[in-house]
Amino acid sequence: MEFRPCIDIHNGSVKQIVGSSLSDQGDTAQENYVSGQDAAFYAGLYREYNIINGHIIMLNPVMSPYYEATKKQALNALYAYPGGLQVGGGITPENAGEFLLAGASHVIVTSYVFKNGQIRYDHIEKMVREVGRERLVLDLSARKKENRYFIVTDRWQKYTDVELTERTLDELSNYCDEFLVHAVDVEGKAEGIEEELARLLGDWGKLPVTYAGGVHSMDDLRLLKSIGRNRVNVTVGSALDLFGGSMKFEEVLRECQGISYTIKKPAK
């Protein structure tokens, strides 16, 4: 299990929010933490620790009056850590190249490949032609409905008709390098992980998968490592001390990397 850091940007600021509270109407969200540092600061920190494959998520839609400020923050983070971070939020074949040229290792896509509740394979294929499978991450963030997990889009606000199952993961794994899965119902609440979802991802385990949502203690990390069969990578957001929480950044790294791992900042 690897630690995958995050930089969530909303209304031009680095924030931690309650995922299920996000609304495009008025660009509102329930905030857990608003950082006084910009996105480039966090990118530089992750670079100092040689942590790769973290993700930047732009939480404003393209039509939002805040989008340009949010995008600027994302681009500055990519410039600060070229090749070290992935970026998602409103990514299409038309704008993906800009973020890759700015230094993104991968682009993360959800809404573009799901339209009217269905998987648009023609859209996925267009993304693959544009960026290459090896630089594409599919965000399959999910919420529970009728006791099943369904993929949600448009900043987690719209349910698709696509259930997140091992078969779905098998089908979509032909088109991407990794998956990112937010457990939206617990995202930002720091009340524990979605065990059923984490178990599904660990049982599948054929591509790298990053799980995000609900981690609030070292016990949560150990539980995720166990039920995820050490195949599921993890993001810690609101509970991390970098974002106002109680979990120490370096202790999280040690837990994820193994007890023998010693944190050392490389020389600048």
- CB distance 4 to 210 below 8 Å: yes
Pairing of strands 178-182, 136-139: parallel
Residue with tokens 């930047």: 56
- 165-175 residue pLDDT tens: 999 999 999 99
User: Do strands 106-109 and 85-88 pair parallel, antiparallel, or not at all (unpaired)?
Assistant: parallel
Closest CA to 51 of 83, 84, 14, 87: 84
| pLDDT the model gives residue 157 | 79
Half-sphere exposure of 144 (CA within 13 A, CB side): 10
Low-confidence ranges of the chain (pLDDT < 50): 259-268
| Closest among 37, 75, 29, 50 to 242, alpha carbons compared | 37
Residue 118 in contact with residue 160, Cβ under 8 Å? Answer: yes
Residue-level pLDDT at 265: 47
pLDDT in tens, 60-98: 988 999 999 999 999 999 999 999 999 999 999 999 999
The DSSP code sequence of 16-54 is: EE-GGG-BTTTTB--EEEE-SS-HHHHHHHHHHTT--SE
